[in-house]
Amino acid sequence: MTEPVTLKGGGRTPTDATPLLRTEVYGTTGVGKSTFAATFPSPLWIVNFDRSWAPIIEQMPSECEIHYLEIPVDSDMLIKGIAADHLLSFDKFIKEAASSDAGGTFILDGADVWWDTVKAAKLPDSDDLRDYYIPNTYANSRYRRMCTLPMHFVAVAASRNKWEGKTKESTTQESEGFKHRLRWITSQVRIFSPEMRITTPLIPSQDSKLGRTFYGYVSLAKERPSIEGTVEPSLTYLTLYRKIYRKNPPDAAQCWLPVWSEE
């Protein structure tokens, strides 16, 4: 297990009047979910149950303060004792974030894998569905803690197709993870790219869709329901904040913008 580290510079404290986003972002592998999360205000408190953030962090300016805890993703992490140790590190990291008064953002990357870890650590060895009370109670309390920190919160999760019945998948996507999490989330977006290729051209130079574009579909916005179902190109924290609150965020100077952003 990687010890949490502080990687880069310092941040500013946002004003007390700054609305805080509680956002879940979901999508297929490699579409830019973590990059979207990285556009939220610094300092970033990142607990990562997914792939390494090293390629993203390398692009970010030195002024961004980053506290980073990486939980190794392998088969051993779902052994009860190892999973329990991972949750102890996770809880310690939340406490450290709670002690900060610098604002910023808490990011849970791989929220669906985190939920698998919770189940591995907390479920008794039985088939009684009532045993889910223990992992559900733990997960609910931790979402409450993360979403009541004095900073923004972003959960990053994988997506899947919803099932219309026992044997038929629909074309509608949903996020994976702890099923009661949306009681704490105030906005939810799906990141997608039309150039995600399952197949490739026989002759690549004849491909008319060079490069990739990124879009954010707003599937939930409790604080401004009228924007639900809208699509925003190159979605970042700044554009999501403006869509919801119809004004510029006071902590905009603490944000990093990736190269694909149109800001």
Q: What is the pLDDT of residues 53-93, one digit of tens each?
A: 999 999 999 999 999 999 987 767 788 999 999 999 999 99
Greatest Cα pair distance, the chain, in angstroms, is: 57
Q: Is 55 exposed, middle or buried (0-12, 13-18, 19+ CB in 10 A)?
A: exposed
Quote the pLDDT of residue 231: 96
Tokens found for residue 172: 């509608």
Strand-pair partners of 173: 161
| DSSP type of residue 234 | T
Q: Which of 24-38, 127-141, 177-191 has the lowest mean pLDDT?
A: 127-141
Statement: residue 14 has pLDDT above 80: no
Indicate whether 15 pLDDT > 60: no
Domains and CATH numbers, the chain: 5-254 (3.40.50)
Query: Beta strand 152-163 with 169-175: parallel, antiparallel or unpaired?
Result: antiparallel
pLDDT of residue 128: 66
What pLDDT shows up at residue 139? 97
Taking the C-alpha atoms of residue 250 and residue 128, their distance in angstroms, rounded to an integer, is 49
- Quote the DSSP letter at residue 177: S
| 102-155 pLDDT, tens digit each | 999 999 999 999 999 999 999 987 666 578 899 999 999 999 999 999 999 999
pLDDT per residue over 187-224, tens digit each?
A: 999 999 887 666 777 777 666 666 778 899 999 999 99
CB 41 within 8 A of CB 105: yes
- Of 205, 259, 256, 241, whose CA–CA distance to 19 is shortest? 241
- Is the pLDDT assigned to residue 236 strictly greater than 70? yes
The answer to whether residue 253 scores a pLDDT higher than 90 is yes
The sign of the CA dihedral 85, 91, 94, 95 is negative
Q: What is the pLDDT of residue 75?
A: 67
Rounded to an integer, the average pLDDT of 181-185 is 95
Res 12: pLDDT? 47
* 11 or 151: which leads in pLDDT: 151
Which residues have a Cβ under 8 Å from the Cβ of 247 and sit 6 or more positions away?
Answer: none
Q: Return all residues near 9 (Cβ < 8 A) that are at least 6 apart.
A: 62, 63, 64, 65
